[in-house]
Copies of this chain bind each other. A is one copy, B any other.
């Protein structure tokens, strides 16, 4: 059942397609369709031909890489209004997997590409998004190199706190981690045990309070930022 009703879309003002005029968007919407993925389901698999792309409207996705030994590394989290899909490569390069029940707005790449050609504003919106993703990826690189486990965990907590907050300028004080310990570990390039120990340490040092396994409350963001430096 193709066709999408944008008027009820949660990300209608923030996704790339928000750059289109209502009638232009409506025309694009007729070419797309919604799809729901349960936690753990694969949205795109590395190596597949690149023939679709999508905007995430609800939920959470991960972009991840599996090395030859089967170890996974999460390269990026995709939040609602994020765009997924290879832009110019014939093959999908990384797996995209749902971390929570997620709804995506899917388009055939050919249709989307035509829309990009036809609507320069859409190309610019995607460019803006790609630039933002690039910045995020580089922030991750900066977080990774020569940094202690404590710094990485602190940095990730702060970034998740911002992602969990509705406001762009300050992060949420109390929120639920969107992922389990194992996923935190592959996101940080650490082991589950190390992450767990760091959480214990942060709680013991009074920077953090845990509410169950997923809930966290940041008690001293200043010191967290100092740690993450």
Residues of B within 8 A of A124 (CB): 116-117, 123
- Is A134 interfacial (CB 8 A cutoff)? yes
The answer to whether A229 touches B68 (Cβ under 8 A) is: yes
Of A32-40, A156-164, A185-193, A212-220, the stretch lying at the interface with chain B is A185-193
- Distance in Å from the Cβ of A49 to the closest Cβ of chain B? 17
A118-138: contact bitstring with B at CB < 8 Å (1 yes, 0 no)? 001001101110111111011
Chain B residues with CB under 8 A of A186: 145-146
> Quick check: B120 and A87 within 8 Å, CB to CB?
no
Q: Which B residue sits closest to A64, measured CB to CB?
A: B142
Asked whether, in the complex, the Cβ of A65 is within 8 Å of the Cβ of B138, the reply is yes
Within 8 A of B (CB), among A105-122: 116-117, 120
Q: Chain copies in the assembly? A: 2
CB distance from A122 to the nearest CB of B (A): 9
Residues on B with beta carbons closer than 8 Å to the beta carbon of A73: 141-142, 145-146
Q: Which residues of B contact A167 (CB under 8 A)?
A: none
Q: How far is the CA of A163 from the CA of B151 in the complex (A)?
A: 32
A18 to chain B, nearest CB (A): 15
Which of chain A's residues 44-88 have a Cβ closer than 8 Å to chain B?
63, 65, 67-69, 71, 73, 75-76, 86-88
| Cα–Cα distance between A68 and B227 once the two chains are bound (Å) | 10
Q: Given that A65-B138, A73-B145 are contacting pairs, would A87 and B117 also be in contact in the complex, using a CB cutoff of 8 Å? A: no
Q: Which of B76, B93, B131, B189 contacts A145 (CB 8 A)?
A: B189
- A71 with B189: CB separation less than 8 A: no
User: A130 CB to closest chain B CB, in angstroms?
Assistant: 4
Tell me the minimal C-beta distance from A197 to chain B in angstroms.
Answer: 16
Q: Pick from B75, B123, B133: contact of A142, CB below 8 A.
A: B75
A144 interface residue per 8 A CB criterion: yes
Is residue A221 contacting chain B, with contact meaning CB distance below 8 A?
A: no
The answer to whether B127 touches A87, judged by C-beta atoms less than 8 angstroms apart, is: yes
